[in-house]
Structure 1
Amino acid sequence: MKKVLATLALASMFISCTQEEEKKQPNVLVIYADDLGYGDVSAYGQGTLNTPNIDALAANGVRFTNAYATSATCSPSRYALLTGQYPWKNERAKILAGDAPMLIDSASYTMADMFKSQGYQTSVVGKWHLGLGNGSINWNEDISVTPNDIGFDYSYIMAATNDRTPTVFVDNRRVDNLSADDSLFVSYKENFEGEPTAISNPELMTKMKWHHGHNQSVHNGVPRIGYMKGGKSALWVDEDMADHFLDIAKGQIDKSTESEKPFFMYYALHEPHVPRVPHQRFVGKSGLGPRGDAILEADWCVGEIMKHLESKGLLENTLVVFSSDNGPVLNDGYFDEAVEKLGDHTPAGVLRGGKYSLFEAGTKIPLIVSWKGKVKPSVSDAMVCQLDLASSFATLIGAKSDFEDSKNFIDTFLGESEVGRENLVLEATGRLSYRKGDLAYIPRYKGNAVNKQVNIEVGVSEDEQLYDIKNDPGQQNDIFKKQADTGNSLKEEFEKATEGFFKPMQTDVVLH
Structure 2
Amino acid sequence: MDRELKKQPNLVVIYTDDLGYGDLGCFGSDSISTPHLDALADSGVRFTDWYSNSPVCSPSRASLLTGRYPHKTGVSRVLAGRRAKPGGSNQSTPGLPQTEKTIASLLKPHGYRTAMFGKWHLGVAEECRPNAHGFDEFFGFLAGCVDYYSHIYYHGGWRNINPTHDLWHNDKEVWYNGRYFTELVTEKAVDFIDRGSDQPFFLYVPYSAPHYPMHAPKSYVDRYPHLPPDRRIMAAMISAMDDGVGAIVKALKAAGEYENTMIFFSSDNGPSRETRNWLDGNEDHYYGGTAGIFRGHKGSVFEAGIREPTIMSFPGRIAEGQVSDDVGAMFDVLPTFFDFAGIEPPENLDGKSVTKTVTEGDESPHHQLFWEYAASQLAVRQGKWKLCVNGRNDNKSGLAPRDPDLPEDVHLADLTSDPGERFNLAKNNPELVDQLMADLQSWATELQVD
Pick the TM interval, shorter chain.
0.7 to 0.9
Q: Counterpart of 1:280? A: 218
Q: Judging changes above 3 Å, is the alpha-carbon distance between structure 1 residues 480 and 229 closer, same or farther for their aligned structure 2 residues? A: closer
Q: Counterpart of 1:13? A: none
**Sequence identity (%):** 32
CA contact 2:122–2:142 (8 Å) conserved in 1: no
SS in 2 for 1:282: helix
Determine which of 131, 141, 163 is the counterpart of 1:228.
163
Gap runs ≥5 in structure 2: 83-91, 168-172, 278-282, 403-407
Query: Is 1:406 aligned with 2:351?
Result: yes
Instruction: Write the mapping of 1:73-112 to structure 2, written as runs, cut at 5 A.
Output: 73-90=56-73, 92-99=75-82, 100-112=92-104
Q: Counterpart of 2:268? A: 325
Structure 1, residues 84-134: CA drift from partner, whole Å, max 9, x if none? 11113455431111125342221322111121121110111101111122x
Q: Judging changes above 3 Å, is the alpha-carbon distance between structure 1 residues 429 and 303 closer, same or farther for their aligned structure 2 residues? A: farther
SS in 2 for 1:281: helix
Gap runs ≥5 in structure 1: 1-18, 134-142, 170-185, 187-196, 198-212, 218-224, 507-512
Deviation at 1:241, TM superposition (A): 1.1
Q: Counterpart of 1:382? A: 326
SS in 2 for 1:499: helix
CA contact 2:114–2:202 (8 Å) conserved in 1: yes
Deviation at 1:278, TM superposition (A): 1.6
Q: Judging changes above 3 Å, is the alpha-carbon distance between structure 1 residues 252 and 39 closer, same or farther for their aligned structure 2 residues? A: same
Amino acid at match of 1:45: G
Q: Judging changes above 3 Å, is the alpha-carbon distance between structure 1 residues 414 and 34 closer, same or farther for their aligned structure 2 residues? A: farther
CA contact 1:28–1:265 (8 Å) conserved in 2: yes
Amino acid at match of 1:150: H
Deviation at 1:214, TM superposition (A): 6.2
Determine which of 21, 29, 51 is the counterpart of 2:12.
29
Mapped partners of 1:495, 1:292: distance in 2: 41
Q: Counterpart of 2:170? A: none
Q: Which moved more, 1:292-301 or 1:491-500?
A: 491-500
Determine which of 408, 432, 436 is the counterpart of 1:486.
432
Query: Is 1:127 aligned with 2:119?
Result: yes
Structure 1, residues 359-407: CA drift from partner, whole Å, max 9, x if none? 1010000110112233212111110011111112222223231143122
Mapped partners of 2:214, 2:75: distance in 1: 27
TM-score by length of 1: 0.74
Q: Counterpart of 1:397? A: 341
Query: Is 1:369 aligned with 2:340?
Result: no
SS in 2 for 1:412: helix
Amino acid at match of 1:407: K
Structure 1, residues 466-496: CA drift from partner, whole Å, max 9, x if none? 1111110111100001111111111111211
CA contact 2:413–2:424 (8 Å) conserved in 1: yes
Instruction: Write the mapping of 1:398-437 to structure 2, written as runs, cut at 5 A.
Output: 398-402=342-346, 403-414=348-359, 416-430=361-375, 431-437=377-383
Query: Is 1:270 aligned with 2:208?
Result: yes
Q: Counterpart of 2:235? A: 292
Q: Counterpart of 2:293? A: 350
Q: Counterpart of 1:67? A: 50
Determine which of 432, 438, 442 is the counterpart of 2:384.
438
Mapped partners of 1:165, 1:311: distance in 2: 29
Mapped partners of 1:331, 1:152: distance in 2: 32
Deviation at 1:74, TM superposition (A): 0.4
Deviation at 1:427, TM superposition (A): 3.0
Q: Judging changes above 3 Å, is the alpha-carbon distance between structure 1 residues 459 and 236 closer, same or farther for their aligned structure 2 residues? A: farther
Mapped partners of 1:390, 1:243: distance in 2: 27
Q: Which moved more, 1:150-159 or 1:318-327?
A: 150-159
Q: Counterpart of 2:87? A: none
Deviation at 1:330, TM superposition (A): 4.6
SS in 1 for 2:163: strand
Q: CA RMSD, aligned part only? A: 3.1
Deviation at 1:423, TM superposition (A): 0.7
Amino acid at match of 2:217: H
Deviation at 1:416, TM superposition (A): 4.4
Mapped partners of 2:360, 2:192: distance in 1: 28
Q: Judging changes above 3 Å, is the alpha-carbon distance between structure 1 residues 231 and 82 closer, same or farther for their aligned structure 2 residues? A: closer
Q: Counterpart of 1:146? A: 129
CA contact 1:120–1:261 (8 Å) conserved in 2: yes
Mapped partners of 1:475, 1:347: distance in 2: 16
Q: Judging changes above 3 Å, is the alpha-carbon distance between structure 1 residues 429 and 456 closer, same or farther for their aligned structure 2 residues? A: same
Mapped partners of 2:64, 2:30: distance in 1: 27
Mapped partners of 2:272, 2:12: distance in 1: 26
Larger radius of gyration: 1
Q: Judging changes above 3 Å, is the alpha-carbon distance between structure 1 residues 164 and 498 closer, same or farther for their aligned structure 2 residues? A: farther
